[in-house]
Structure formats: C-alpha cells, structure tokens
Amino acid sequence: MQYSMGIDAGGTYTDSVIIRDSDGEIVDSNKALTTYPNLLEGIKNSLDGLDQSYLVNVKLVSVSTTLSTNTILESTGYPVALIMAGDYLIPDTHSITNYFVAEGGHGPNGEETSPLDINGIKDYVLLNKDKVSAFAVSSYFSIRNPDHELQVKELIKDLTGLPVVCGHELSQDLGAYNRGITAYLNAQLIPITDHFIETIINELGRRQIEARVLMLKCDGSVVGIDEAKEKPIESIFSGPAASLVGAAYLSKSDTCAVIDVGGTSTDVSMINNELPELCDEGAIVGGWQTKVKAIRMETSAMGGDSHIWIKNQRPNIGPRRVIPLCVAASKYPELLDKLKMARIPSRMLLSENIQPTKYFIRTGREPQNELSHSEKEIFDKIEDAPVSINEIFIDRLPSPVFLDLLIQKRLIQGIGFTPTDALHVLGEYTEWDSEASNIAAKTLGRMTHQGKIEFCQTVKKEVAKNMVIYLMSYLLENVHPDEIRKVIEGNYHTKFKLDIPVVLLGGPVRAYVDDVRELLDADIILPEHSEVGNAVGALVGKGIKRIEILIKNVRKRTKANITVFAPGERKVFMTHPEALEYADTLGRELVLSYMAEAGLNAGDVRLEVTRNDIAMHGDSLPIETKLIFVGIGTPIREVNI
C-alpha cells in the first residue's frame, strides 16, 4: 500500500496528515505546536505523533509554511541589492535598503528607449558584491523585452557568482517597480527557503522516507521542489491557500466559500469550479505590494489566540495574539497560583497590556541592538516563566509603551485570556488546562458584571459574528464590514442567504457551527478532519499553471508588424492568423512542459484557453489579443498494485 503525506507549519500548530493513494482516504493525522523560529522541531513533533508504520510507504510529501510570510513581516531576510534600469518613479515611503537606478529600459512595444548603462551597473555590483547574498534586477517593460534584465544578470553572474533574480521571471504584469520589489523580496528568501527545504528532505531521509517533495504556492497550486527554491516568494500566504484547497477536498465541493479560524486571524476565501479566486493586484505582505498571484482573501485579526482584554467594562478581542492561558498553564503549572492571586488594576490604568489575566514571558531571542534604559529595565524583570504586570512594576506606574516595543521586537510575548480559553470554560474544547481558563473567566466576568459562563458566551458569539461579517465582506466587495455588522446586529427580521456552501476549518471551529447557522442562511459544512484541513490542502493541491501571451498590432508607418509577447521572448509576424497560431501552440506547450518538469501528470491536464480582443470600431484587425492559458494537473502518484 502506498501513501502521501501533507505538512502545514502554521502560526500556532504544525499539522500532518497521511492519505492513502488508492482511494484518497485520510488514514492518520496529528497536530503539534509550531516551534518558531525553528520550524523543524514542530514538524518533528507532528510527525512523531503519526502511526510510524505508514511512513516507510509514503512516496509523496507536500508542504505549506508560514516561513516566507514571517520572514518578510519580521524583516529578517538576507541582504539583497536591487538594480533598476529605466525611468523609475520610486515612492518616498519605500524601505529598500540597497538599490541602484541605471539608464536603460524598453517601451511598451519592446523597443529600447535608452541604452543600458552597463559600466555604471558594473561599478555598483563590484562595490556591493561582498555586502549582499543576492541581486535582484528589474528593467522598464521587461515583460515586452527582457534583454536588459538578462544582460545585467549575466554580468552579475560573471562578476560575483551570486544568485540573481529578474522581475520578468516572476511576473508578466505591468508595473516595473512592483516587479522589482517582487524580485527583491524573492532574492531575500532564497537562502532561507533553500535551508528549510533541505532540512525537510534530511528529516525525511532520517526517517527513511523516500518521497518526492512538493510545496504549496499562494495561489493554491503545488510546485516541484526546484521551482520552490527558485521562487520562494510564491509561498507567501500558502497557509490560507492550503485551507482553501483542503476545505474543497474534505467537503467534496468544487465551488465553496471557506472560513478558516486560525490562532492569529480568521481568513475567508473562495474556490470556484476547482480554481481559487485570485487577487488581480498581487499579494500585499508586510506593506510591500508584490506582483505575486495569490488567493483573494478577507482577513480579520480575530482568531483562537486573540487577546481578550477589558476596558470601560467591555470586552475587546485582539488584535494582538497571545499564548492562551490554558496552553501556558499546561507548561507552567505555577501560573494557576498567580491567577488566583491576581489583582484588578485601577480602571484608569486598564489597557491591552495592563490586565489582571495578562502575563509576559521571554521568547528566547536576544536583543539584536542595544535596548533603551526603560526597555532594558523591563526586559531584565521578565523571565523564562510567566510574570505579571505587578511583578514587573512594583513601586511606580506601569509603562505599556515599552512593553509594546519589546513585544514588537519579539523579545517577549504575552499570555492572556483568549477565545480558546472561553471554549474551555464552556466545555466545548478541552485540549488544555481548563482550570486556568475558569479562574481567569471569573475575574474578567466580574469586571464586565457577568458570570463566567455568560462572559464566555458573549465572547463566543462575537467570534461567530466576526466570521460571518468577514465572509459577507468578502462576497460583497466594496461593502465595509461595519455596514454588514449593522445588518447582522439590527432587528430587521432578515439575514444573509448564500447559494454556495460555506466550509468551516480550524481546530475548535466545530464549537461555532450552530452560532454561524443562526446568523447565516447557508449550507454550513463542518467536514471530517477539519482540524487538519491545512495539511490536507498542502497535499491535495493541484498543479496549476497560468501563461499569458499578448499579440499586438504594432503599426510602423504604412506597414503593420504583428508582435507576439510571450514569457521570455517576443516574435514578429506579418499576419494576425500566423501570430495567433504560433501563440496558441506556444502557450499549450509551455503549460504542458511546466507540468512535466514539475513532476505533475502532464497526460491528465485540463487546459482552458481564454481569448480577449481589443479592436477599433470598424477595424477587422484587433489592436491587441490576449490569450490566457490555464492548465490544471495532479501530482503523479505511482501506486503499486
């Protein structure tokens, strides 16, 4: 018998799942806490909880991870230099640390608009080659003619031997600056992703698992490991993408909306006829606008680990994430006595960080730069076990500003009451130490003039309401969540009705099914194995390849040249039919070639071609023709019979 394994290293949990290849059934799964920044330990713990007898017969492993996203958010990527050729308009708010703008670039028809300043670029490369781990290159209209990018790439390779990433290799969309940003971020991630993938492969080898390794992209498709190493930027948001693909598989739905309740956030997305909906503008991560095709999603900063804190006798949920009290108490039993002894601060002092049920602990990271006097004073009082606000500030008023700075620098992290704790009190999710949750709920309930059960029911209903609000905000584009909240909370004798199923994913999400059904008229599906849906999605993602080819009628005096702009090339024809035939053949070949090289089943590819013409009124020849080729394949599973 042969099996495949999916692994998702998420923000809170690392999930693993084993699927039997012969019938697609899930035969085993496990969850373990994610260990950050060393994700490997969490992966090991997750795999250790599986039935080890299956592992020797695993022949395919697919992985999704938060690694790329977290690296960009935390600005911990490797140093990179960006070279831009052309007349660039660089925003004043940019945060690129090392870049050079040179003469060069092309026009919209692929014509050279300015000679490439190869000598200036050479001087810049020699000056910076020992300061960076890679170079990124972007030239104006490289999607019409990549010649200048390729010249710079060859020069850098000859001078340094360092990796070089070109903008046209990652995107065929307009926007030279954002293509450059995409290349810049991609280059930062290459060493980190390469190390992560090699670590996974070595761990599989240690366990005697001889399997082909794939990685899930942020558009919900899988890629071969070589491409994953070359284009790690495409793995940002692979966690939400895994949720979407996994939900569709588990619910057996080709079209559905998905609500994934994670530790940090609630993500909403949609799959339509097996294809995830994508954002047209490209993914935004850490404030960077990229040209990466990612799933379109609506995200709210409310998840199972969102901090619940009291101000003005009202509960607030998030946006910051903490370690749930029930989880912390399982590791630090002394926390129970601290909770029993907790004192409620003055109402005037209450804030997100000053709460009777809030504690702090070191992350294990050491400061990279010197701390201010106030930061160091606080940091020195925080230990490797939970410390309360009263233990930090003994003889003067607390300073939440400096606590915030230490949290932002990821030197300390908070422990507090969360929706996960509320479910423990209500008895609807009891994975961890319920006693800690109950003690804290009693204290917080007293601050809001509620009993602990009523307080936790209030929290639970707010989380369910939030899920529905962001689902409808996703489906009703351009309608603000506040307007949707008015409809849900108003006494209008009506509620939203959907004609597509809604699939729920997440560890404790089953506790919210009835609450969501009360707010929404829809087929609400809680599939079996929903708690490891991300790992399922990492494994069952299809191979999806999108190729865009543009045919332009470029008029030169009395003669018309029909130019085909394809990835990495341009070709001129005398007639439109000739160009169209060439483009159609090339697009199909590129899709099928990609499937074969990625180790996907090229013989079972569904290929869809969309044609869009732009023509002047009364003109029989289109000014532009765009062909979009979408191939959908499945990973090859060689089943032994």
Query: Is the predicted pLDDT of residue 426 greater than 80, yes or no?
Result: yes
What is residue 602's predicted lDDT score, i.e. its pLDDT?
61
**pLDDT tens readout for residues 367-416:** 877 888 888 888 888 888 898 888 877 566 556 778 888 887 778 888 99
* Residue with tokens 């949609």, as numbered in its chain: 270
Query: Which two three-digit tokens encode residue 26?
Result: 């899930």
How large a percentage of the chain has pLDDT more than 70?
Answer: 95
Q: How confident is the model at residue 460 (pLDDT cuts 50, 70, 90)?
A: very high
The model's pLDDT over 621-630, given as tens digits with 9 standing for 90+, comes to: 788 899 999 8
Q: How many CB atoms lie within 10 A of CB 278?
A: 19
**% of the chain beyond a pLDDT of 90:** 35
Q: What is the pLDDT of residue 639?
A: 42
pLDDT at 641: 34
Q: Which pLDDT score is estimated for 525?
A: 92
Q: How many CA atoms lie within 13 A of 311 on its CB side?
A: 13
DSSP 295: B
Q: If you average pLDDT over residues 283-312, what whole number do you get?
A: 84
A 10 A CB-CB count for 616 gives: 10
β-pairing verdict for 543-556 and 624-633: antiparallel
Domains parsed from the chain with CATH numbers: 1-61 (3.30.420.40), 306-456 (no CATH), 543-633 (no CATH)
Q: Kindly report, residue by residue over 30-65, the tens digit of the pLDDT.
A: 988 888 767 888 899 999 999 999 998 898 899 988
Cα three-residue angle 249-251-252, rounded to 5 degrees: 60
Q: What is the pLDDT of residue 167?
A: 92
Q: Are 448 and 314 in contact (CB under 8 A)?
A: yes
Give the confidence band of 236 by pLDDT, cuts at 50, 70, 90. Answer: confident
Q: Among 14-23, 448-457, 590-599, which stretch is predicted with the lowest mean pLDDT?
A: 590-599
Better-predicted residue by pLDDT, 206 or 373: 206
Mean pLDDT of all residues in the chain? 86
d(CA 360, CA 383): 8
| DSSP SS3 for 326 | helix
Q: Is 25 helix (H, G, I), strand (E, B) or coil?
A: coil
pLDDT of 453 above 70: yes
Please compute the mean of the pLDDT values over residues 587-604 and round it to a whole number: 78
CA pair distance 73, 70, nearest whole angstrom: 5
Tokens of 622: 């289109």
Tell me what the mean pLDDT of segment 182-207 comes to: 90
Confidence of residue 600 (pLDDT cuts 50, 70, 90): low
